[in-house]
Amino acid sequence: MVKEITADEIFIPEEWNEEQLMIRQTCYDFVKQEVWPKLDELDSMKNPELMPKLLERAGELGLLGTALPEQYGGFGTDFNTTMLIAEALGAGHSFAVAFGAHTGIGTLPIFYYGTEAQRNKYLPKLANAQWKAAYCLTEPDSGSDANSGKTKATLSPDGKHYLINGQKMWITNGGFADLFIVFAKIDNDENLSAFIVEKSFGGITMNEEEKKMGIKGSSTRQIFFNDCKVPAENLLSERGNGFKIAVNILNIGRIKLGISCVGGAKETLSMAIQYANERKQFGKSIGSFGAIKQKLADMAAYIYAAESAGYRASQNIDDAVEAYKASGVDEIEAKIKALYQFAIESAIMKILGSEALDFTVDEGVQIYGGMGYSAEAPMDRAYRDARINRIFEGTNEINRMLTVDMILKRTMKGELDLMGPAMTVALELTSIPDFSQEVEEGIFVKEKKLLANFKKIGLMIAGAAVQKYMQKLGDEQEILMNLADMLVEGYAAESTILRVEKLMKLRGEENCQIQKEMAMIYLYRALDKISNAGREAIYSFAEGDEMRMMLLGLKRFTKAEPYNLKNSRRKVADYLLKENKYAL
């Protein structure tokens, strides 16, 4: 929002090295050979041993411990590579959910916050799937407000163990987990603490498997802790540090969920492309019709933008880790700090990826037509399984409000200068526009000016809203949602334009025409959404001269050159139909 980013500063997926591409191929092969043939069996839940066996098979291939150092049974890959693995497995439907819960929120709390003894005891078993992990945070009366949980932990008089009592719900992998990361309040503490709980400790019971709309193959249980006796040394981190652990681990979960959704969306689009080529109506394939081409191109552009944003952010996290380490910070602490630094981008990616997938499966059903509504065709499962992604890891509404809330809090702390640039934009509104026709040379010159204007719109409205509501802005959730939409769309559009610019420098502009059209399709989508969100926000709190001035500013900042999107979509769709898959 407050600085210009150049194409050279970002990572793009076209820069994967040979080793990373081999890892990705291993994941693709695993999904195609081990998961897809068993999807019906997984969804039936008639074989409760099937999902644990698949996790064990993934463990044999080394896919469960990639984020862990070798000393704990892992491979010690960078964060960006773990994102690539999450994307490649993202088309695994329920398996992707079980994998994400085990390797992320089930394993990483111990790695980031455990003692050395805890890491040595548990991480090797989790890395090879000898033990499976689950994460127990949500309760019947505690969802988005996680710190309001009522599960209690009472320290024994001799200080040797805790007795945990309470109920957790929506616990992924709950039915077969050997280890649980459990959040509870010790005595009457205000904040949660976290515990490593082995199933063998006893005092753990659970309901039958939840009957769900989708991801039917994933185990989801309510779990009850009744005087569950946990050794005192299984307290994770410090007393009262549980909420901090939950928040930081969810940051990882959010960005990885977003990129996993990209993987699912790519496969869904590929199926839609193949069906559009095969399905004949009026004597020709439906892919030859403009209405279908528009859908295919819009799906592809959305996916491309989400992918661009995801890997831009994850490489930023890796770079931040290295910067912290270079300044003398311990490696694990460096990772925690880097994840906090990019928590906003993680929330953006969760929103962007899950909504790109939802858009893709919805249009996929439409392209399949009547067959899209049939349980015999693949869109049925894709549609149902996708819907959960906008809910777990924090609903998209919560994540939207979090993005703005985190920006404002960092501004208040002096970590981010938001009001200075906002005041500069306010002054610009009262100045005479520069109508000079000086021609600038370079790639995407006009488009990058539009991107800069997107940021000005966000600064203009955020600055005015902060001045009006001050500390009470958090109560104006509708405005926060509008601001978040501007932020998400601006970040995605910028990431896509910069990706294609960098690709053009690497491969030559003439070899990147399809990518250029994809970037333009998404840029104009972002333009419409930002314009609408800005107008809604202005209408909701501004009045009189202030409203008129801001609307004029919105009009000025959203002024764009006409662009023939119909031709762009046809070019992109024709390429996809020729390749018979998402080939970007």
Amino acid (one-letter) located at 381: R
Please determine, for residue 109, whether its predicted confidence score (pLDDT) is greater than 80: yes
Q: What sign does the CA torsion over 235, 318, 511, 514 have?
A: positive
From the list 345, 393, 494, 501, the catalytic residue is 393
Task: Over range 497-511, report the average pLDDT.
Answer: 97
Q: Do domains 242-398 and 407-431+441-579 have the same CATH topology?
A: yes
- Mean residue pLDDT of the chain comes to 95
**Cα(567)–Cα(290) distance, integer angstroms:** 10
- Joined tokens for residue 122: 């548990």
DSSP 289: S
Count of C-beta atoms within a 10 Å radius of residue 244: 17
Q: What is 7-132's CATH number? A: 1.10.540.10
Per-residue pLDDT reduced to its tens digit, 110-134: 999 999 999 999 999 999 999 999 9
- Rounded CA-CA distance 329/342 in Å is 17
Distance between CA atoms of 475 and 471, rounded to whole angstroms? 9
Q: What region, left, alpha or beta, does residue 580 occupy, with left being phi > 0 and alpha being psi -120 to 50 degrees?
A: left
Residue 148 confidence class, pLDDT cut points 50, 70, 90: confident
Residue 419 has what pLDDT? 84
Residue given tokens 């989790």 in the structure block = 126
Beta-bridged to residue 551, according to DSSP, are none
pLDDT tops 80 at residue 437: no
Catalytic residue flag (residue 393) = yes
pLDDT at residue 435 greater than cutoff 70: no
| Top-tier CATH class for 242-398 | mainly alpha
Give residue 340's pLDDT: 93
**Coil, strand, or helix at residue 215?**
coil
**DSSP string for residues in 39-75:** HHHHHHT--TTHHHHHHHHHHHTT-SSTTS-GGGTS-
Query: What pLDDT shows up at residue 20?
Result: 96
Say what the pLDDT of residue 438 is.
63
Domain ranges of the chain: 7-132, 135-236, 242-398, 407-431+441-579
* 429 pLDDT higher than 90: no
Q: Are the C-beta atoms of residues 22 and 326 closer than 8 Å to each other?
A: no
User: Residue 176 has which token pair?
Assistant: 């077969």
pLDDT at 129: 96
CATH of domain 135-236: 2.40.110.10
Residue 19 corresponds to which tokens in the numbers above? 């080793």
Which tokens go with 558? 């959203």
Can you tell me the distance from the alpha carbon of 547 to that of 130, in angstroms, rounded to the nearest whole number?
A: 62
Radius of gyration from C-alpha coordinates of the chain: 25
pLDDT tens digits along 324-348: 999 999 999 999 999 999 999 999 9
- Residue 170, SS3 per DSSP: strand
User: Residue 2 pLDDT more than 70?
Assistant: yes
Mean pLDDT of 176-201: 97
List the one residue out of 142, 138, 311, 151 whose CA is nearest residue 226.
Answer: 151
**Section 383-412 average pLDDT:** 95
- Position 439 scores a pLDDT of 60
- Please name which of 21, 84, 12 lies closest in space to residue 506, comparing C-alpha atoms: 12
pLDDT at 178 exceeding the cut of 70: yes
Determine what percent of the chain is predicted with pLDDT higher than 90: 91
The CATH number fitting domain 407-431+441-579, selected from 1.20.140.10, 2.60.40.420, 3.40.50.300, 3.40.50.10800: 1.20.140.10
pLDDT above 80 for 322: yes
- What's the pLDDT tens digit per position in 357-383? 999 999 999 999 999 999 999 999 999
For the segment 67-73, the average pLDDT, to the nearest whole number, is 95
**Does pLDDT of 433 surpass 80?**
no
**Alpha-carbon gap, residue 334 to 322, rounded angstroms:** 8
Among 90-99, 412-421, 442-451, which is the least confidently predicted range? 412-421
**pLDDT reading at 436 higher than 90:** no
With 80 as the cut, is the pLDDT of residue 546 above it? yes
Average pLDDT over residues 434-449: 79
Answer whether residue 218 shows pLDDT above 80.
yes
Q: How confident is the model over 64-71, as a mean pLDDT?
A: 95
Closest by Cα among 79, 71, 37, 77 to 57: 37
Which are the contacts of 218, defined by CB distance < 8 A and separation ≥ 6?
Answer: 51, 94, 97, 98, 101, 172, 173
Q: Which long-range contacts (CB under 8 A, 24 or more apart) does 8-11 make?
A: 8/502, 9/498, 10/312, 10/315, 10/495, 10/498, 10/499, 10/502, 11/80, 11/311, 11/312, 11/314, 11/315
Distance of CA 318 to the CA centre of its chain: 16
Distance, in Å, from the CA atom of 213 to the CA atom of 81, rounded to the nearest integer, reads: 31
pLDDT value of residue 426: 87
Q: What count of residues does the chain have?
A: 584
For residue 279, give both structure tokens: 């399905």
Q: Which of 97-101, 151-155, 204-208, 409-413 has the lowest mean pLDDT?
A: 409-413
Q: How far apart are CA 231 and CA 343, in angstroms?
A: 33
Pairwise CA distance, residues 310 & 106, whole Å: 22
149 vs 438: which has the higher pLDDT: 149
Burial readout 200-213 (b: 16 or more C-beta within 10 A, e: otherwise): ebeebeeeebbebe
